[in-house]
Amino acid sequence: MFQSGLLLLYPIFKEPVVLTDTNLVYPALKWDIAYLKDNIGNGDFSVYISGNHKFLYYDEKKMCNFENFVPKSQRMEMKFNEFVDQMHETEERGGDERVYLQQTLNDTVGKKIVVDFLGFNWNWINKQQAKRSWGQLTSNLLLIGMEGNVTPAHYDEQQNFFAQIKGHKRCILFPPDQFECLYPYPVHHPCDRQSQVDFDNPDHEKFPNFKNVVGYEAVVGPGDVLYIPMYWWHHIESLLNGGVTITVNFWYKGAPTPKRIEYPLRAHQKVAIMRNIEKMLGEALGDPHEVGPLLKTMIKGRYEQDLS
């Protein structure tokens, strides 16, 4: 991880970086549960409830493709004060169960939150967006987690400035070229873009290349901004014994694909192409379960025989 002091040398960083002096979410550094309870408004919040510390993301729209898929966490819609009660009850019970609020900021928030939001360092972030030719800001996800909560390794198809507000998070990142070591679920699976490897207990027989994975690690605290480039894998955990964590991320569409593609292709371009092939095959075949075997046959059938 580079510290922001090196930014003069890296005016457009392409790798993850922890920036310590952006003031991006300065007005939000006063946020805590009490302030949010008073000011966040009466909207509905998506809260995930998990039987353990892991919150493996799943796309509810893709659940029909895999009828036997049973999500390991449940999404519930609730008011902010209900979430706070749930969090306290879960803490008091002291078991493995945990809750994680993950809600896109929207216009139901109260006036003070709007004022804080308008006071974010838009000047800085808008300049970053323009310099990098990114597309529009798509959303700001608010994440409020309990200590020990883990978001397992996955990649997103968007650029991300991940702004830490309260508590500390340990972030482990892997470049897109480590795709083969991280074994993503099939594109049509609800856990598309997530690694199948359980980092707590990796199955080395099923996922032999996982032992070769090499990543970067950083711990971010209040005021830090972690740049997570598009297609970079990230595993994120709220540190134990650190209390509640609060983060707001800034997701942007990537720069448009260049008209002239230069070779050799970069790792993230290969990932994008593989995804498109898998998607097209799934659509052509009608049944996403057929994609895996067909891809295997195409590749094995053509390359495993002696071609000399």
Residues that bind ligand AKG (CB under 6 A): 143, 151, 156, 160, 162, 234, 236, 247, 249
CB count in 10 Å sphere of residue 134: 17
* 109 Cα distance to chain centroid: 23
The residue (of 128 and 249) whose beta carbon lies closer to ligand AKG is 249
CA-nearest of 72, 78, 70 to 52 is 72
Cβ 145 to ligand AKG shortest distance, Å? 6
The residue (of 178 and 247) whose beta carbon lies closer to ligand AKG is 247
Cβ 151 to ligand AKG shortest distance, Å? 3
Q: What is the dihedral of CA 17, 227, 164, 107, to 10 degrees?
A: 160
Cβ 202 to ligand AKG shortest distance, Å? 20
Cβ 110 to ligand AKG shortest distance, Å? 24
Q: For residue 59, give the DSSP letter.
A: -
The residue (of 212 and 241) whose beta carbon lies closer to ligand AKG is 241
Tokens of 113: 């939150």
State the residue number with the nearest CB to ligand AKG: 151
The residue (of 143 and 191) whose beta carbon lies closer to ligand AKG is 143
Query: Sign of the CA dihedral 210, 211, 214, 220?
Result: positive
Nearest-angstrom CA–CA distance, 64 and 61 = 7
Three-state DSSP class for 207?
coil
CA-nearest of 55, 285, 52 to 187 is 285
Cβ 144 to ligand AKG shortest distance, Å? 10
